[in-house]
């Protein structure tokens, strides 16, 4: 006979797997509906991190002059970023700054309410190519849960290796915790 505690562990594991499958299905439906509602991006989100991303976003915005643009990152860089957008002739009224984010997960959790409020269902996501995989995984959970689909626009960074899958897994788990509790765990970061 199998000890009762092993049965509870087995049932718990089965429940977790079933829960994740249900969540994945629900996210897929949300993203499919969002894609149908807004087949073309309605806004641009750049994950600040590096000045080269902001410069690229300013050029990209010039190709999409009617789309509002969000810069998610460190508020201390806002003056430099504003100068980059002025130099690229991006109207200041189109640029929104989010200074809440402290990491990649919070880049999404801090901006999702803004997009929801404005009924934005599809965005261009600008970040470096080595960072895009993790960013898309987080976006699928955070933005996907709110019916917002993402079209990636990767900035080449040939000197950087792709991020480790462990970082993606960690941030996906953090995103799931945010989905369940509204907390990202960013306050635990010593940096």
**pLDDT tens per residue, range 116-131:** 999 999 999 999 999 9
- Is a pLDDT exceeding 60 seen at residue 191? no
Q: 157 lies in which domain range? A: 10-184
pLDDT at 162 (0 to 100) = 84
Buried b (16+ CB within 10 A) or exposed e, 54-91: bbbbbebbeeeeebbbbbbbeeebeeebbebbeeeebe
- pLDDT band, residue 72 (cuts 50/70/90): very high
Report residue 146: phi and psi, to 5°.
-110, 10
Residues 127 and 108: beta-carbon distance below 8 Å: no
Residue 174 lies in a domain: yes
> What is the C-alpha separation between 25 and 148, in angstroms, rounded?
15
Token reading at 30: 């949300």
The number of folded domains in the chain is 1
- pLDDT band, residue 34 (cuts 50/70/90): low
- Is a pLDDT exceeding 60 seen at residue 157? yes
Supply the CATH number for residue 17's domain.
3.40.50.620
Global pTM?
Answer: 0.82
Residue 158 lies in a domain: yes
- Is a pLDDT exceeding 60 seen at residue 62? yes
Query: What mean pLDDT, rounded, does the chain reach?
Result: 85
Residue 190 lies in a domain: no
Give the CB-side neighbour count of residue 31, counting CA atoms within 13 A.
Answer: 18
Position of tokens 């997960």? 105
- Is a pLDDT exceeding 80 seen at residue 78? yes
- pLDDT band, residue 186 (cuts 50/70/90): low
Residue 115 lies in a domain: yes
């Amino acid at each position: 006979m199998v000890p009762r505690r092993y049965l509870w562990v087995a049932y718990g594991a089965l429940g977790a797997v079933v829960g994740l499958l249900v969540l994945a299905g629900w996210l897929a439906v949300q993203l499919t509906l969002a894609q149908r509602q807004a087949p073309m991006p309605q806004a641009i989100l750049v994950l600040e991190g590096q000045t080269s991303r902001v410069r690229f976003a300013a050029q990209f915005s010039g190709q999409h002059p009617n789309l509002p643009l969000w810069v998610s990152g460190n508020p201390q860089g806002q003056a430099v970023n504003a100068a980059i957008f002025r130099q690229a002739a991006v109207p200041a009224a189109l640029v929104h700054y989010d200074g809440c984010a402290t990491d990649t997960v919070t880049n999404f959790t801090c901006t999702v309410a803004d997009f929801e409020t404005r009924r934005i269902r599809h965005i261009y996501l600008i970040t470096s190519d080595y960072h895009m995989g993790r960013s898309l995984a987080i976006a699928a959970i955070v933005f996907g849960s709110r019916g917002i689909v993402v079209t990636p626009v990767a900035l080449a960074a040939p000197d950087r290796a792709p991020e480790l899958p462990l970082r993606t897994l960690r941030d996906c788990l953090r995103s799931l915790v945010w989905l369940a509790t509204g907390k990202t765990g960013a306050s635990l970061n010593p940096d």
